[in-house]
Amino acid sequence: MKLGCSFATSLETPEHIRIAEELGYERALCYDSPALYPDVWMVLNRSAELTDRIVLGPGVLIPSLRHPMVTASAITTLVHTAGQERVMVGIGSGFTGRLAMGRPPVPWAKVEHYARIVQALLRGEQVEWEGAIMQLIHPDERFGPALPITVAWGVAGEGPKGTTVARDLGAELLRITAPEPGFDPQMMMVIGTVLDEGEDPGSERAIDAAGHAAGLFLHWAVEHDVIDELLGEGGRIWAAAYDHIPENVRHIALHDRHVVGVNEVDRPFITAEVMASAGAALTPKEWQDRFAALEEGGCSFVHFQPAGRDIPRELEAFAAAYHR
Q: What is the CATH number of the domain that holds 110?
A: 3.20.20.30
pLDDT in the model for residue 227: 75
d(CA 46, CA 272): 38
Classify residue 199: in a domain, yes or no: no
pLDDT in the model for residue 170: 98
**pLDDT tens, position by position, for the chain (324 residues)?**
999 999 999 999 999 999 999 999 999 999 999 999 999 999 999 999 999 999 999 999 999 999 999 999 999 999 999 999 999 999 999 878 888 898 989 999 999 999 999 999 999 999 999 999 999 999 999 999 999 999 999 999 999 999 999 999 999 999 998 999 999 999 999 999 999 999 999 999 999 999 999 888 777 777 777 777 666 777 888 889 999 999 999 999 989 998 999 999 999 989 998 898 889 999 999 999 999 999 999 999 999 999 999 999 999 999 999 998
Backbone angles phi, psi at 56, to 5 degrees: -130, 150
One domain for residues 86 and 210: no
Output the CA torsion sign for 145, 150, 155, 160: positive
Domain that holds residue 220: 204-277
Is the distance from CB of 310 to CB of 237 less than 8 angstroms?
A: no
One domain for residues 113 and 218: no
**Secondary structure E strands in 199-296:** 281-282
One domain for residues 171 and 247: no
One domain for residues 220 and 314: no
One domain for residues 254 and 118: no
pLDDT in the model for residue 231: 66
Classify residue 97: in a domain, yes or no: yes
DSSP 61: B
One domain for residues 168 and 306: yes
Helix 284-296 to helix 311-323 angle, to the nearest 10 degrees?
A: 60
pLDDT in the model for residue 175: 96
d(CA 94, CA 87): 21
One domain for residues 236 and 305: no
Classify residue 70: in a domain, yes or no: yes
One domain for residues 104 and 228: no
Give the amino acid at 268: P
One domain for residues 145 and 190: yes
Q: How many domains does the chain have?
A: 2
Classify residue 226: in a domain, yes or no: yes
Kindly list the distances between the CA atom of residue 314 and the CA atoms of 53, 206, 305, 311, in Å, as whole numbers in the listed order.
Answer: 21, 10, 9, 5
pLDDT in the model for residue 75: 98
d(CA 179, CA 183): 8
Classify residue 310: in a domain, yes or no: yes
Classify residue 106: in a domain, yes or no: yes
One domain for residues 273 and 288: no
Residues 6+ apart with CB under 8 A from 312: 16, 19
What predicted TM-score, i.e. pTM, was given to this entire model?
Answer: 0.95
Classify residue 114: in a domain, yes or no: yes
pLDDT in the model for residue 229: 67
Classify residue 298: in a domain, yes or no: yes
One domain for residues 287 and 261: no
**Closest to 87 (Cα-Cα) out of 27, 171, 146, 167:** 27
Output the CA torsion sign for 274, 278, 283, 286: positive
One domain for residues 181 and 230: no
d(CA 61, CA 31): 7
